Amino acid sequence: EDQVTQSPEALRLQEGESSSLNCSYTVSGLRGLFWYRQDPGKGPEFLFTLYSAGEEKEKERLKATLTKKESFLHITAPKPEDSATYLCAATLVSKLIFGQGTTLQVKP
Amino acid sequence: EPEVTQTPSHQVTQMGQEVILRCVPISNHLYFYWYRQILGQKVEFLVSFYNNEISEKSEIFDDQFSVERPDGSNFTLKIRSTKLEDSAMYFCASSEAIGTGGLFGPGTRLTVL
**Over the stretch A24-77, which tens digit does the pLDDT of each residue have?**
999 888 889 999 999 999 999 999 999 999 999 999 999 999 998 999 999 999
Residue of A nearest to B102 (CA): A46
Do the bridges between strand B88-95 and strand B31-37 make them parallel or antiparallel, or are there none, so unpaired?
A: antiparallel
Q: Is the pLDDT of residue A21 over 80?
A: yes
Task: State whether residue A51 sits within 8 Å of chain B by CB.
Answer: no
Residue B32 domain-assigned (yes or no): yes
Residue B75 domain-assigned (yes or no): yes
Residue B52 domain-assigned (yes or no): yes
Residue B82 domain-assigned (yes or no): yes
Minimal C-alpha gap between B47 and chain A (Å): 8
**Cβ A43–B106 below 8 Å, yes or no?**
yes
Establish, for the pair of chains A and B, how many residue pairs have beta carbons separated by less than 8 Å: 62
Give the residue extent of every domain in chain A: 3-107
**pLDDT for residue B101:** 78
Give the residue-averaged pLDDT of B55-63. Answer: 95
Residue B26 belongs to a domain with what CATH number?
A: 2.60.40.10
CA-to-CA distance for B98 and B113, rounded, in angstroms?
37
CATH architecture of A3-107: Sandwich (2.60)
Provide the domain limits for residue B50.
Answer: 5-9+18-95
Q: What are residue B86's phi and psi, to 5 degrees? A: -80, -5
- Count of the separate structural domains present in chain B: 1
Q: Is the pLDDT of residue B100 over 90?
A: no
pLDDT tens column, A99-108: 999 999 999 9
Q: Is the pLDDT of residue A2 over 90?
A: no
Task: State whether residue A27 sits within 8 Å of chain B by CB.
Answer: no
